[in-house]
Homo-oligomer: A and B are copies of this chain.
Amino acid sequence: MSRVRAKPLHGDKTVTQPRRAVVREVGLRDGLQSISTVLPTARKKEWIRDAHAAGQREIEVGSFVPARLLPQLADTAELVAYAKTLPGLVVSVLVPNLRGAESAIDAQADVMLVPLSASHAHSLANLRRTPDEVVAEVAKMRALRDAAGSKTLIEGGVGTAFGCTLQGEVAAVEVLRCMQALLDAGADRVSLADTVGYANPAAVLRLFEQARAIAGERLCCGHFHDTRGLALANVYAALQTGVDRFDATLAGIGGCPHAPGASGNAASEDLAFLLEDMGIATGIDLHRLLALRHKVAAWLQGEVLHGTLWRAGLPKTFAPTA
């Protein structure tokens, strides 16, 4: 990962920031699974195609969960197959268990994201397993993947990393223990998620710094919800620790089951603007991404959408980063 010394801080210090960063689109998974509109497969393909045309190179297209649980994501295999026809696109899927991993490997997804909740209460409520049971499942996924000679990367996503609406506090030491356990079990890389919008920039700086000390470059992504308006401030803090990949959903779709009407993830278009405007290249053409947002917003009429750039437009002074 290349870095550039960005600007002097306090005279004698500097803050580093990556030269490039990835806005990983998770709207088709984290977004669509949380809203009531069911998007037809043809429109999902159009979304993926347009996002790719706008320069997005990593997209989570769905989740291999039983269709009876999330019927809106039942077309995941077809979407993986379609997405893999687009040049240079890294196609990821969420898999909650070994059966999902099998599907991901069969579909030849580039990345499978395995969620683990560091909050035991949240883990039992949402995944019906303890964190350590998820770790054991990851070990089996790794064995399966290796036995199949598959190239699908396993990413362990540690959620509720900054607190939990059920349990309250989630100790950093437990978050880091889970992360280490995922790596030990064979995850190729790990990410940290503020699942419920409890993080603040100081907490992000602290936890990502500690996580990085353990995982190094294998700490690959930050996933921030904008429930309390801090997603972009949290991204900025995480950037200072060297993280260079962030999940986001177009128009901030997704919401939060615990806060009706609240934002979902960071809005992809706002995040891309933040990065590009700070001189961090994303490869994204913001005009095309805003055009896609406009299209998707029309498809999702009646849903609460978020984000700010679509309304304000780009600054007169804006120039994309090369």
A283 at the interface (CB under 8 A from B): no
Copies in the complex: 2
| A205, B311: Cβ atoms closer than 8 Å | no
A13 at the interface (CB under 8 A from B): yes
A315 at the interface (CB under 8 A from B): yes
Q: With A and B bound together, what is the CA distance between A198 and B309 in angstroms?
A: 11
Q: With A and B bound together, what is the CA distance between A100 and B126 in angstroms?
A: 60
Q: With A and B bound together, what is the CA distance between A200 and B317 in angstroms?
A: 12
Which chain A residues (200-227) contact chain B, with CB distance < 8 Å? 200-203, 205-206, 209, 213, 226-227
A313 at the interface (CB under 8 A from B): yes
| A309, B163: Cβ atoms closer than 8 Å | no
| B200, A274: Cβ atoms closer than 8 Å | yes
Chain B nearest Cβ from A205, distance in angstroms:
6
Nearest B residue (CB) for A277: B200
A8 at the interface (CB under 8 A from B): yes
Q: With A and B bound together, what is the CA distance between A213 and B10 in angstroms?
A: 9
| B17, A202: Cβ atoms closer than 8 Å | yes
A197 at the interface (CB under 8 A from B): yes
Nearest B residue (CB) for A259: B312
The interface residues of chain B lying within 8 Å CB-to-CB of A213 are 11
The interface residues of chain B lying within 8 Å CB-to-CB of A25 are none
Known: A6-B202, A261-B311, A315-B163. A229 touches B232 (CB 8 A): yes
The interface residues of chain B lying within 8 Å CB-to-CB of A315 are 163, 165, 196-198, 228
A270 at the interface (CB under 8 A from B): yes
Q: With A and B bound together, what is the CA distance between A311 and B227 in angstroms?
A: 9
A36 at the interface (CB under 8 A from B): no
Q: With A and B bound together, what is the CA distance between A147 and B176 in angstroms?
A: 63
Q: With A and B bound together, what is the CA distance between A7 and B207 in angstroms?
A: 10
Q: With A and B bound together, what is the CA distance between A309 and B227 in angstroms?
A: 8
Among listed A71-79, A102-110, A137-145, A233-241, interface-contacting one: A233-241
Q: With A and B bound together, what is the CA distance between A168 and B319 in angstroms?
A: 12
A91 at the interface (CB under 8 A from B): no
The interface residues of chain B lying within 8 Å CB-to-CB of A316 are 163-165, 168
Q: With A and B bound together, what is the CA distance between A7 and B208 in angstroms?
A: 12
A9 at the interface (CB under 8 A from B): yes
Q: With A and B bound together, what is the CA distance between A233 and B278 in angstroms?
A: 12
Which chain A residues (236-292) contact chain B, with CB distance < 8 Å? 236-237, 240-241, 256, 259-263, 267, 270, 273-274, 277-279
- Pick 20 A–B contacts, CB within 8 A, sort by A: A6-B202, A7-B205, A10-B241, A11-B213, A15-B205, A163-B316, A164-B316, A168-B317, A197-B315, A201-B233, A201-B278, A202-B279, A203-B278, A226-B308, A229-B232, A230-B232, A233-B233, A233-B235, A233-B274, A259-B311
